[in-house]
Chains A and B, each alone.
Chain A
Amino acid sequence: MADNGGKKITLKSSDGEEFEVPEVVAMESQTIRHVIEDVCAKNSIPLLNVNSKILSKVIEYCKKHVAAAEAAASKASTEEGTAAAASVTKPSDEDLKTWDAEFVKVDKGTLFNLILAANYLHIPGLLDLTCQAAADMIKGKSAKEIRKFFNLKNCISPEEEEEIRRENQWAFEEEKRTRAFDAYA
């Protein structure tokens, strides 16, 4: 990806750190794109809701995906690329998927901050990726395990839980009938 010659823009995190990135990378965020396009182009855009640690991860994601898109576009002009475009799974997608999978192997705190940042900055690909990672953490866990894993507060009392189960028997009945014994929270 050409770093020189492209227009650069500065993003400023909530804790004051500055990141200079090519404009095309910053525009992966639709929020930032609107600022650049609608408001007079500033040289520095403050992002009050994103700290430096998370912003650097977000920039890493955007750089990687912009580079992948550029590679795919240049390949598309070759014959094999056109053929690849005709089929659904492109070989470059596999590498990107692997990279994405590694990218979300972070601690819970970072993951949730990434979710919030992707939402605030309107980066759909990153939002989908991080939400899927969060969903994968929930899958297969019992209510007790989920509560513990996410340190949930405002849990309902055992009496309240019993009432919900009773009122919505159709939703929970099955749990009592599984052969595997799942200890009641």
Chain B
Amino acid sequence: MRGIYSTESTTEKRRKIAHVDRISNLPDPILILILSLLSTKESVQTSLLAKRFQNLWASVPVLGFDFDDFLPDDHSEYLDEDEENLFEYEENFTKFVDGIFEHREPSNLDSFKLKWKEDESDPTPATAWLETVAKLKPKFFFVHIFTENFNFEVPDSVFVCESLEELELELGFEAISPRSVNLPCLKKVTLDSIEIVDEVMQKLSGLPALEEMVLSYCQLNICDISSGTLKRLVLDGYHNDKTPPDISISTPSLLYLEVRSWTIGRIKFKKLESLVKACIQYHEFDDEDPLFLTGLSNVTYLELMLSEWGQLQMKDVLKEETTKFPTFNNLKTLKIGEWCMTDEFDVLACFLFHASNLEKLTLLHRQSPAGQYKMEISLGLGDNVDIMEINGKKNDKIVNELVKRVDTHLKTRPKTNIISSE
């Protein structure tokens, strides 16, 4: 009997509910959690919202600074006016960051992120910031400083910050040369556009807890990457003036390997016995080592893409060296580009012959020039599978040829299902 005797009408009640201040009811730790998901600049500005928020920002254990936020929306480095004002923007930025360090609660820090990308800018103030942060024992440290006209040196204290679990550095091709490296908790390191020499690489890859390493467009003056603990390794392009040096990879615990935009033959795969998945995308091919695949023969999942030039080279070599082709006993999933599809499909056949446990094969087929379309052909193979599904155009010459060819390599004759897809 509640409704009839309520003192407010339903619409009044609804209006009241709609205008309730719910956010202020949240307890401090939750508000601080929400603020930690904003940039520090946004989080400080909540101090103006209401009394409740005045000092919450100071307890947030996350700091995130981006110089871009201190440039006007339509800033352009090519505008004269903006060049003059740059000094002012820099001043605002440095004053802000200094102010934060001064006024925040002196507790430790979970995560620190700094992005400063502006060619004409002088990032020297950042050195002091990084040193301050290293003392606050953060777990996550992301620093992207790209200022073409000024050099930036990462202070040594970053490399002996014992609390660090994840480190990400992006510079403007400067070198890192720490006097010593002591990062016992470091699990993941990402280095982007940085010059790395052997001595430093050895110190990093020898870290006791390291599980993941990502090297993006670095200038690599190293001869090997050896680590007993590394589980994931990503090599995404290199920045060396000429071809990269020969690098051998000895990572017996590695589960996942990704190599993109590289030259074949410049990487020797040694000791990859735990490797489960490999994604390789090469530019060109180096005649000296035709069968780089041997080091990868343990994998369960393989993805292999070549550039057009690399394709041509590879076809020729594999035709000659088919007897040396490694056996992929564990391979269940294979994804390859059309480079393997020579006129008689003999390269593809070579793969199928040497991977008797293969269950899924995907071929990425791109037909150039004008109508750049991608046709994905997916096959389900294996002794237990008696259906072969191909996603492709029904009357495509290549698809038909492929079906014929693949047939001869299977023990049982599968039922063929061609699924047309555009």
Stretch of A5-13, A17-25, A41-49, A165-173 at the chain-chain interface: A165-173
For the complex, is B128 an interface residue (Cβ under 8 Å from A)? Answer: no
- Contact between chains at A146 and B92 (CB < 8 Å): no
- Contact between chains at A170 and B88 (CB < 8 Å): no
Contact with A along B88-132 (1 / 0, CB 8 A): 100010011011100100000000000000000000000000000
Supposing A83-B301, A86-B232 touch, asked if A135 and B37 sit within 8 A by C-beta, the answer is: yes
- Contact between chains at A143 and B45 (CB < 8 Å): yes
Rounded to whole angstroms, the CA-CA distance of A82 and B275 in the bound complex is 11
Supposing A119-B30, A156-B50 touch, asked if A80 and B23 sit within 8 A by C-beta, the answer is: no
- Contact between chains at B25 and A170 (CB < 8 Å): no
For the complex, is B19 an interface residue (Cβ under 8 Å from A)? Answer: yes
Identify which of A88, A131, A132, A164 gathers the most chain B CB atoms within 10 Å of its CB.
A131
Contact with B along A96-128 (1 / 0, CB 8 A): 000000000000110011011001000000010
- Contact between chains at A86 and B276 (CB < 8 Å): yes
Residues from chain A with Cβ under 8 Å of B52 in the complex: 154
How many A-B residue pairs have C-beta atoms within 8 angstroms? Tell me. Answer: 136
Report B293-312 residues with CB < 8 Å from chain A CB: 300-301
Number of contact residues on B: which range applies?
Answer: 35 or more
For the complex, is A174 an interface residue (Cβ under 8 Å from B)? Answer: yes
For the complex, is A77 an interface residue (Cβ under 8 Å from B)? Answer: no
Residues from chain A with Cβ under 8 Å of B231 in the complex: 86
Residues from chain B with Cβ under 8 Å of A164 in the complex: 47-48, 54
Residues from chain B with Cβ under 8 Å of A170 in the complex: 95-96, 98-99
- Contact between chains at A161 and B333 (CB < 8 Å): no
- Contact between chains at A153 and B301 (CB < 8 Å): no
Residue of B nearest to A146 (CB): B49
Contact with A along B65-90 (1 / 0, CB 8 A): 00000101110000000000000100
For the complex, is B370 an interface residue (Cβ under 8 Å from A)? Answer: no
Stretch of A32-40, A51-59, A63-71, A176-184 at the chain-chain interface: A176-184
Rounded to whole angstroms, the CA-CA distance of A152 and B24 in the bound complex is 7
| Contact pick for A171, options B24, B45, B301, B330, CB 8 Å | B45
Residues from chain A with Cβ under 8 Å of B21 in the complex: 150-153
Judged by DSSP, the binding face of A is helix
- Contact between chains at A152 and B232 (CB < 8 Å): no
Report B1-43 residues with CB < 8 Å from chain A CB: 17, 19-27, 30, 33-35, 37-38, 41-42
- Contact between chains at B72 and A131 (CB < 8 Å): no
- Contact between chains at A146 and B37 (CB < 8 Å): no
For the complex, is B266 an interface residue (Cβ under 8 Å from A)? Answer: no
CB distance from B253 to the nearest CB of A (A): 11
Rounded to whole angstroms, the CA-CA distance of A13 and B362 in the bound complex is 51
- Contact between chains at B333 and A179 (CB < 8 Å): no
Rounded to whole angstroms, the CA-CA distance of A89 and B152 in the bound complex is 33
| Contact pick for B30, options A87, A115, A156, CB 8 Å | A115
| Contact pick for B333, options A79, A87, A132, CB 8 Å | A79
For the complex, is A72 an interface residue (Cβ under 8 Å from B)? Answer: no
- Contact between chains at A153 and B50 (CB < 8 Å): yes
Residue of A nearest to B35 (CB): A135
For the complex, is B359 an interface residue (Cβ under 8 Å from A)? Answer: yes
- Contact between chains at B301 and A152 (CB < 8 Å): no
- Contact between chains at B48 and A82 (CB < 8 Å): no
Residues from chain B with Cβ under 8 Å of A150 in the complex: 21-23
Contact with A along B41-62 (1 / 0, CB 8 A): 1101111111110100000000
- Contact between chains at B256 and A87 (CB < 8 Å): yes
Supposing A151-B21, A174-B96 touch, asked if A79 and B359 sit within 8 A by C-beta, the answer is: yes
Residues from chain A with Cβ under 8 Å of B88 in the complex: 177
Rounded to whole angstroms, the CA-CA distance of A143 and B47 in the bound complex is 9
- Contact between chains at A80 and B34 (CB < 8 Å): no
**20 interchain pairs (CB within 8 A)?**
A79-B359, A80-B301, A83-B300, A83-B301, A87-B277, A115-B26, A119-B30, A143-B48, A143-B49, A152-B23, A156-B50, A161-B48, A164-B48, A165-B48, A168-B103, A170-B98, A170-B99, A171-B45, A174-B41, A178-B73
Given contacts A86-B232, A86-B276, A171-B45, 5 further A-B contacts (CB under 8 A): A116-B26, A151-B20, A151-B21, A152-B24, A178-B72
For the complex of A and B, 7 pairs with smallest distance between CB atoms:
A170-B99, A135-B37, A83-B301, A86-B255, A79-B332, A112-B22, A86-B256
